[in-house]
Amino acid sequence: MRIGILQCGHAPDSVQAKHGDFDVMFKALLHGHDFTYKTWDVVDNEFPLSVDDADGWLITGSKHGAYENHSFISPLSLLIKKIYAKETPMVGVCFGHQIIAQALGGKVEKFNGGWVVGRQEYTLGAGDFVALNAWHQDQVTCRPEDAEIIATNNFCKNAGLVYGRKAFTIQPHPEFSNKIMEDYLIARRSSPAYPKNLMETAQSLTKIKIHTSTIAKDFAAFFKGDFEAKVIS
């Protein structure tokens, strides 16, 4: 099965030097699930010619906002609508989660509660939970009509959404291992955009277990049509 990775941004140079760009991180996350891959740098206006160029699509994170006026936003939104109409399985992470929701009728905004950086715990359906690294201020504040919540917490209500068998999206970053998060924090720690205490807390949590393999298995199952969503009522 061929997964088309729509890369919507690039990792900092220092992070890329150690871990590769976002597409490499996702390939590592999904290693062992018998996928092949092709990457399109949509952030640089490189797009597939057809929705049939892959058997499943994965939309990555980005430093950009889904609501911002960048040249790749409109064609990416149109592509998302075409993929959705074709019912080809589509996964979105962070920005990918947001742009899919926005393209399909939801709303994305800069959250007035501020930034979340580092390890977060999310409630899943059936009372389960998952811990993952996150890095965002924007959120899906109004989900599309077709979307159902499958992951949530007090800071981010629409942290995980499922659209039947068409799309599965999450706000946190399962591709960010604790080591990647550590190096991201080093790369960004001098930026005035992030409160110092938030960055220090995130650093202190990088030794605590996260559940990246759980989400990797869910993504793989979704692409293969075997995922059973546990919706939060």
Long-range CB contacts (within 8 A, 24+) of 26-33? 26/58, 26/60, 26/175, 28/175, 29/174, 29/175, 29/212, 29/215, 29/216, 29/219, 30/3, 30/216, 30/219, 30/220, 33/216, 33/220, 33/223
Number of domains observed in the structure of the chain: 1
Domain-embedded: residue 64: yes
Task: Say how far apart CA 70 and CA 63 lie, in whole Å.
Answer: 12
- The pLDDT, as a whole number, for residue 71 is 98
Domain-embedded: residue 117: no
**Prediction pTM value:** 0.97
- The pLDDT, as a whole number, for residue 125 is 86
CATH at residue 59: 3.40.50.880
Domain-embedded: residue 121: no
- The pLDDT, as a whole number, for residue 63 is 96
Q: Give the residue numbers spanning the domain of 34.
A: 2-111+138-176+211-223
Domain-embedded: residue 206: no
- The pLDDT, as a whole number, for residue 126 is 78
Q: Which region, left, alpha or beta, applies to residue 126 given φ > 0 means left and ψ of -120 to 50 means alpha?
A: left
* pLDDT < 70 positions in the chain: 233
- The pLDDT, as a whole number, for residue 233 is 67
Tokens 């996350």 locate to 29
- The pLDDT, as a whole number, for residue 122 is 98
Domain-embedded: residue 181: no
Domain-embedded: residue 15: yes
Domain-embedded: residue 9: yes
Contacts of 133 (CB under 8 A, 6+ apart): 118, 119, 120, 172, 173, 176, 177, 178, 180, 181, 210
